[in-house]
Amino acid sequence: MMASNYSVTRSSGATKIAAFVGIMILVALIAAPLWAGRADMRLMGELFLYLALASLWNLMAGYAGLVSVGQQAYVGFGGYMLFALTMFGGLHPVLAIAIAGLLGAVISIPVALLIFRLRGAYFAIGTWVIAEVFRLSFAQVSTLGGGSGSSLPAGIVRSLADSRAGREHLSYWLALGSAAIVIAAVFLFLRSRNGLALTAIRDNELAAGSLGIDIWRTKFVVYIVTAALTAMIGALIFLQKLRISPDAAFSVNDWTAFVIFIVVIGGIGTLEGPIIGTLLFFLLRETLADLGTIYLMVLGAVAIVIMLKAPNGIWGLIRNRFDIELFPLSYRVKPAQKD
């Protein structure tokens, strides 16, 4: 058989339908202020921010093998930078979010140089130590409220938009935009040369290294890009909350444990996984929230069972059963079409 009898494609029927449906959903979501209530928009805004955090954590852990339990370091850092830049720098909040991302990238460089010396689970706990250092350091800064934190002054909140509805819509669109941008960025990154290297590392680190991929550099880039985007998401989260304190900003439960559960339950190492996981997480949260701590125990147990019985998560199960993919990332070999 000749090689020319086959063609290699990335897109399939499913990916084309998914792209179309995805764009329709995105349009509907952009128009949400027309059809959704205030409480719904608040909830959706929160959902988008979690989706963005989960997609980023998935890029690091699922593709680059960098399992961090210290991403709250960058969420909190971004939040504090928003407060510092707007309160003392007099910057507009949206500009402050962008600069918080840049500063997140800058601070993640020495952090990466240090914790990249640790491997595997020790890397994970090392990132947690870093997050603790961030938390304890910000608790020492008395101009930012020290251990008890501070609120965003009303003047800065008003600078976002004049009316309350305007502010709510803007913060909703920022959250939606950040989720869309993060997913698009991760998608495009994975389709790029660097992304191909990353996928190769995920599949077999040894083989990837022997093919000339600079594993350290690839992971380093992923870590820094993730830190920058996570810091921006953190700034957005605390722009919604309007109040920050070291314990809330650097909470391992809120910004890392939940995110890990989302990714594991949805399916680690896929783009679809975090989306499914986020939807399921919010569904569980909204229905089981009255159970209090029991709900968290259920969440922990679900994560353990999924990790043991279906390590590829819900999306993994679906993909194995139907062999579909919503984001065109892998290559498929098909017999060439006759003219």
Question: Is residue 298 within 8 Å of residue 288, measured between CB atoms?
Answer: yes
Nearer to another protein, 102 or 298 (CB): 298
Residue 202 CB, nearest approach to another protein (Å): 11
Euclidean distance between CA atoms 182 and 29, whole angstroms:
16
Q: DSSP of 161-204, one letter per residue?
A: -SSHHHHHHHHHHHHHHHHHHHHHHHHHHHHSHHHHHHHHHHH-
Residue 113 CB, nearest approach to another protein (Å): 8
Nearer to another protein, 89 or 311 (CB): 311
H or E element in which residue 332 lies: strand 332-335
* Cβ-based neighbours of 205, under 8 Å, separated by 6 or more: 65, 215
Nearer to another protein, 67 or 87 (CB): 67
Residue among 60, 8, 20, 42 at smallest CA distance from 260:
60
Nearer to another protein, 38 or 117 (CB): 117
Residue 289 CB, nearest approach to another protein (Å): 14
Nearer to another protein, 176 or 299 (CB): 299
Which residues lie across from 151 on neighbouring strands?
243
Residue 316 CB, nearest approach to another protein (Å): 13
Residue 23 CB, nearest approach to another protein (Å): 33
Give the footprint of another protein on this chain (CB under 8 A): 61, 67, 69, 114-115, 117-122, 124-126, 128-130, 132-133, 136-137, 139-140, 252-253, 257, 260-261, 264, 268, 293-294, 296-297, 299-301, 303-304, 307-308, 311
Q: 337 in the Ramachandran plot: left (φ > 0), alpha (ψ -120 to 50) or beta?
A: beta
